[in-house]
Amino acid sequence: MIDLAPRRLRSDDGHLSADMRASFEADGYLFLENFVAAAECDRLRARALELVEEFDPAEHRTIFSTTSRAHASAEYFETSGDKIRFFFEEGAFDARGELQQPKALSINKIGHAMHDLDPAFEAFSHTAKLRALAKNLGVRAPQIIQSMYIFKQPHIGGEVVWHVDSTYLYTEPLSCIGFWFALEDATMENGAMWCLPGAHRIPLKSRFVRRNDTLVTEVLDDSPWPEGPRVGLEAPKGTLIVLHGQLPHYSGPNTSDRSRHAYALHVIDGECRYPADNWLVRGSRLPLRPL
């Protein structure tokens, strides 16, 4: 497999040149260095750790795993679309069900509506700069449908298998775009992402949907992803990686001593239809709003 380096770009105010937009069209991603100030990264990281501190792990020991899908049946996950909830790493518990390391080093991620429910995350997520970026990417009525704080913990941070985000956030026509912020340096050792540039033109292979009150993956095309070339997205703290909703991406396990905290937002176009069988639902008390 051939590995490539990302094309490193800059946008200080969210505006994109014609060349940058062409780059996104061609590759399906944008790598924007220094998009977020280091102090802002630190503030968000500190707030995430506060939220974890306030969370009682005895309540919900739901493990988030993309390999087992065991979490998918858990009501805790299914109803998290309009809440702030906490999901453990697969390797967090021992055989007796006890945490093997401190709580703050056991959580896989927090999701999926802190961008609307927590003041610190809301302030980070709803900015003129991000709105300008979404508009420059062609989203007519950008709305944040999902937020995730991803810890990628030292030693136990699990892999996230190759997937595209439109599988999980489907609109007609497709409109999902991911904003992935490196809050700490992401390196090959601590589980940086990989992507298959240009593969966002491949038609959607699956959808993750509600069927009879359970979540299932409906396969539309079971052919494998292309072999490559792939881009290794090693990202210094403060980098924003924009991912087209149909761009295949992956991240390996974290085998290092260092965490790889990231914050991810997923934006859809409010002018597209969001079918009711999407896994992520929001109650009437928390309607989607403009970015």
Does 29 contact Fe ion by CB under 5 A? Answer: no
User: Which CB atom, from 118 or from 165, has the smaller least distance to Fe ion?
Assistant: 165
- Report the C-alpha gap between 1 and 288 in whole angstroms: 41
Greatest alpha-carbon span in the chain: 57
Judged by phi (left if over 0) then psi (alpha if -120 to 50, else beta), residue 62 lies in beta
Smallest separation, CB 233 to Fe ion (Å): 12
User: Which CB atom, from 93 or from 190, has the smaller least distance to Fe ion?
Assistant: 190
User: Which CB atom, from 190 or from 246, has the smaller least distance to Fe ion?
Assistant: 246
Helix (H, G, I), strand (E, B) or coil at 125: helix
Which residue has the CB atom at the shortest distance from Fe ion? 165
Residue 18: its H or E element: helix 18-27
Q: DSSP states of 53-80 as a string?
A: HH--TTT--PBP-TTT-GGGG-HHHHT-
User: Which CB atom, from 93 or from 225, has the smaller least distance to Fe ion?
Assistant: 225
Smallest separation, CB 167 to Fe ion (Å): 9
- Report the C-alpha gap between 30 and 243 in whole angstroms: 7
Smallest separation, CB 264 to Fe ion (Å): 7
In 2-72, where do the E strands start and end?
3-4, 8-9, 29-32
Smallest separation, CB 163 to Fe ion (Å): 6
Scanning 63-71, 122-130, 157-165, 182-190 for contacts with Fe ion by CB under 5 A, the matching segment is 157-165
- Report whether 160 contacts 243 (CB < 8 A): no
User: Which CB atom, from 133 or from 241, has the smaller least distance to Fe ion?
Assistant: 241
Does 280 contact Fe ion by CB under 5 A? Answer: no
Name the phi and psi angles at 133, rounded to 5: -65, -45
Number of chain residues interacting with Fe ion (CB under 5 A): 1
- Report whether 230 contacts 3 (CB < 8 A): yes
User: Which CB atom, from 46 or from 260, has the smaller least distance to Fe ion?
Assistant: 260
Encode 232-243: b = buried (16+ Cβ within 10 Å), e = exposed.
bbbbebbbbbbb
- Report the C-alpha gap between 119 and 80 in whole angstroms: 18
Scanning 2-10, 163-171, 228-236, 267-275 for contacts with Fe ion by CB under 5 A, the matching segment is 163-171
User: Which CB atom, from 165 or from 269, has the smaller least distance to Fe ion?
Assistant: 165
Does 158 contact Fe ion by CB under 5 A? Answer: no
User: Which CB atom, from 23 or from 167, has the smaller least distance to Fe ion?
Assistant: 167
Does 89 contact Fe ion by CB under 5 A? Answer: no
Does 165 contact Fe ion by CB under 5 A? Answer: yes
Smallest separation, CB 157 to Fe ion (Å): 15
Does 241 contact Fe ion by CB under 5 A? Answer: no
Scanning 52-60, 160-168, 218-226, 278-286 for contacts with Fe ion by CB under 5 A, the matching segment is 160-168
Catalogue the long-range contacts made by 94-97 (C-beta closer than 8 Å, 24 or more residues apart). Answer: 97/61
Scanning 79-87, 94-102, 161-169, 208-216 for contacts with Fe ion by CB under 5 A, the matching segment is 161-169
Q: Which residues bind Fe ion (CB under 5 A)?
A: 165
